[in-house]
């Protein structure tokens, strides 16, 4: 049994490397009435030949999956396209994705264990992934792209603000560390003064001055 339909798919274009991150499959029920359990998908054979097709056409390989595996209830893949100009049809598919024309992917698999779900859908508990493809039509109505890193005009500003926030946070944490170290040093000095119990007020001031000078010299 093979399913030629798309589950909820999300892609993120990593334009500098010509890579696309794809949510290949989820455990939502599709229009075809199937629920495929992510943890039950056997990826062993696919990882040995991790080709990515266009519209499930075995004569039209367009990319390869660098990584693929479950994350929670989703099956996630990082797809690598050839360098620009090397394979014309791969360029075509990549450009369709980059220009937000193609938004979905689809899996083809062999079912190994299935049962009727209480919802009425057929739940595929165990299966073997044969291939997955970029496709024009999806099985789920909410199969939408939510992030394209290479085509977000506000991404650079968000990255700048994030970097600024991290720098401010690191500076604040460093200040807290210095204050904590100073407090620990002062507590230790006070404990030393109490143990030594100078006889006069002048001796206490002198000892305090020496401790302070030593602390400054150690910074």
pLDDT range class, residue 17, cuts 50, 70, 90: confident
- Spell out the domain ranges in the chain: 11-151, 159-217
**pTM for the full predicted model:** 0.61
pLDDT greater than 90 at residue 185:
no
φ and ψ of 13, to 5 deg:
-80, 120
Of the listed ranges 1-10, 77-86, 128-137, the least confidently predicted one is: 1-10
Cα 92 to Cα 97: distance, rounded to the nearest angstrom: 9
Strand stretches in the chain, DSSP E: 11-14, 19-25, 34-36, 41-42, 51-54, 57-71, 74-80, 104-116, 122-135
32 or 58, higher pLDDT: 58
Q: To the nearest whole number, what is the mean pLDDT of the chain? A: 79
pLDDT in tens, 108-128: 999 999 999 998 899 999 999
Give the β-pairing of 51-54 and 122-135. parallel
């Amino acid at each position: 049994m093979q399913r030629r339909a798309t589950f909820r798919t999300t892609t993120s274009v990593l334009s500098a490397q010509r890579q696309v991150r794809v949510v290949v499959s989820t455990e939502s029920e599709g229009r075809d009435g199937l629920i495929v359990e992510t943890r039950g998908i056997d990826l062993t054979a696919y990882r040995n030949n991790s080709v990515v097709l266009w519209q499930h056409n075995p004569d039209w390989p367009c990319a390869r999956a660098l990584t693929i595996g479950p994350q929670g209830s989703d099956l996630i893949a990082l797809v690598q396209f050839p360098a620009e100009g090397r394979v014309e049809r791969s360029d075509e598919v990549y450009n369709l994705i980059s220009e937000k024309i193609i938004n979905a992917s689809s899996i083809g698999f062999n079912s190994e264990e299935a049962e009727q779900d209480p919802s009425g859908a057929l739940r595929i508990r165990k299966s073997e992934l044969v291939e997955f493809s970029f496709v024009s039509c999806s099985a789920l109505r909410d199969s939408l792209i939510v992030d394209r890193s290479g085509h977000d005009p506000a991404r650079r500003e968000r990255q700048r603000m994030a970097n600024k926030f991290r720098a401010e946070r690191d500076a604040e944490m460093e200040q807290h560390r210095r204050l904590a170290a100073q407090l620990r040093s002062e507590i230790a000095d006070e404990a030393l003064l109490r143990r030594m119990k100078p006889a006069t007020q002048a001796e206490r001031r002198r000892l305090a001055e020496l401790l302070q000078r030593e602390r400054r010299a150690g910074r």
